[in-house]
Structure 1
Amino acid sequence: MEKTTHHFHSVSRRELLLAGGAALLLPQWAVAGAQREETLSDDVASVMRSSVDNVNPARLVFSSAHEGERWLAAMSARLSRYVPDERERRRLLTHIQYETVRAGLDTQMVLGLIEVESAFRQYAISGVGARGLMQVMPFWQRYIGRSSHNLFDIRTNLRYGCTILRYYRDRENGNMTRALARYNGSLGQNKYPNAVYGAWRNRWQWG
């Protein structure tokens, strides 16, 4: 049974500085929903924890190096509106593609989700405390991670976000619309899933 949490971790100035340096003195706030805190079975939590802890060097996962480079060049051009630096774009896209494939998710759809959640801002914080690119709620650290994990770190945030979205998709028997609504904390409403689908179709479709 789901339960909505009414207590969220506050984000101190010191914590923001530790997470990302002086650029975080004026953090950018994200306008997004939040996953609802719920009780996980021990088996589910264990599987999710293993996924979060499984850290390997990120790499593009394509049938050929040429196809991977073609995808990277195309996505980098599209991402330039959000991330000006080309080297950072390519690094970010490599992480996203690797983590989504590892989680069995559609990379292009997740690009749409990240656009809606944070506009690709690594240090985005929502009004209820969700953090980073995929707007992960800190309570997940208690269930599937560790208190030492930095949710503003790109790899960490993507591993959490993809693991959580995969969990919601499995829970909804493959119904991605309901999984996305759960991810946003708005199950029963289609506004958020439609926004993700819109970003996906308008800017991130591939192939």
Structure 2
Amino acid sequence: MVLAAILLSAPAWAGAQKEEALSANVASAMSRSISDVNAPKLVFDDPREGQAWLAEMSSRLQKKIPDPWVRERLLTAIQYEAVRAGLDPQLVLGLIQVESGFNKYAISGAGARGLMQVMPFWTRHIGTPQHNLFDLTTNLRYGCTILRYYLDVERGNLFRALGRYNGSLGRPEYPDRVVGAWKKRWAWTPPAGLRLAADKRPR
């Protein structure tokens, strides 16, 4: 019964990344990223900015995830993994909204799993069979590492990278939805007082 509910809740846009051969150097670099054992933490120059971000994102996510501890743990992991991969955390939030609707147990028809809808073949290429793609941190680490790889492949072209991520390269619907969610739901700038303090920091 529970599994059926989980499967039925998987969103229509869940990803189907294409399995492609990776060069040894690329596979090695991605594997090193996946194997990082550091616990997630907020990564901000100013801790006050981090707390402001967490409070605002937590408020926006409250309807989806009512438990505040679970919500803040998820947001902390998203911010940490996104920054590690050189991604905008708000972009990653938009992608998760579209891919899984923040359901960590989502499964697509193609077999993609978890928050960022990672295809299981990635564990063979850059991880280990023991990696659980339904684990929150593991899934985010894979998803952010994979999106970073696609951005590098596409030389920073976000729309093409998102198309690769979803297995819909060349079609605009999925990139448009992710960018739309990013800009309309998750866009964020620090409060004015924090921006002013940041502007006055020594360069």
Using structure 1 for the length normalisation, give the TM-score.
0.87
**What percent identity do the matched residue pairs reach?**
62
Helix, strand or coil at the partner of 2:25: helix
Gaps of at least 5 residues in structure 2 are 190-203
Residue 68 in 1 paired to residue 50 in 2? yes
Residue 157 (structure 1) aligns with: 139
Q: CA deviation at 1:55?
A: 1.9
Per the TM alignment, residue 24 of structure 1 is displaced from its structure 2 partner at its CA by 4.3
1:133·1:158 contact (CA, 8 Å) conserved in 2?
yes
| Aligned residue number for residue 194 of structure 2 | none
Shift of 1:201: 1.1
Matched, 1:204 2:164: no
- What is aligned with 1:98? 80
CA-to-aligned-CA distance 1:101-134 (integer Å, 9 cap, x gap): 0000011011000000001001000011100000
Give structure 1 stretches of 5+ with no counterpart.
1-21
The answer (yes or no) to whether the contact 1:60–1:68 under 8 Å persists in 2 is: yes
Deviations 1:146-196 (A, max 9, x none): 001000000000000000000000000011110000000011111100000
Aligned to 2:164: 182
Amino acid at match of 1:29: A
Whole-Å separation in 1 of the counterparts to 2:186 and 2:4: 31
> Which residue of structure 1 lines up, in the alignment, with residue 22 of structure 2?
40
1:23-58 Cα shifts (integer Å, max 9, x gaps): 546423232231101111111000000000012011
Matched with 1:114 is 96
2 CA distance for matches of 1:23 and 1:90? Answer: 25
Letter in 2 for 1:129: G
**Which residue is 1:148 aligned to?**
130
Structure 1's consecutive aligned runs of 4 or more residues displaced over 3 angstroms after TM superposition are 22-26
Instruction: Decide which of 27, 30, 37 is 2:11's aligned counterpart.
Output: 30
Q: Secondary structure at the match of 1:30?
A: coil
Contact 1:30/1:127 (<8 A) preserved? no
Matched, 1:86 2:48: no
Decide whether aligned partners of structure 1 residues 42 and 107 sit closer, same or farther in structure 2, where only a CA change above 3 A counts.
Answer: same
Q: Does the 8 A contact of 1:130 with 1:136 survive in 2?
A: yes
Are the equivalent residues in 2 in contact too, given 1:24–1:123 (CA < 8 A)?
Answer: no
Q: Paired residue for 1:56, among 34, 38, 48?
A: 38
Taking the TM superposition and a 5 Å limit, the aligned residue runs for 1:118-129 are 118-129=100-111
Give the one of 194, 201, 207 matched to 2:176: 194
Q: Aligned-pair distance for 1:65?
A: 1.3
CA distance in 1, matches of 2:80, 2:15: 25
Amino acid at match of 1:36: K
Counterparts of 1:23 and 1:101, CA distance in 2: 34
> Aligned pairs, how many?
186
Q: Is the 8 A contact 2:41 2:76 kept in 1?
A: yes
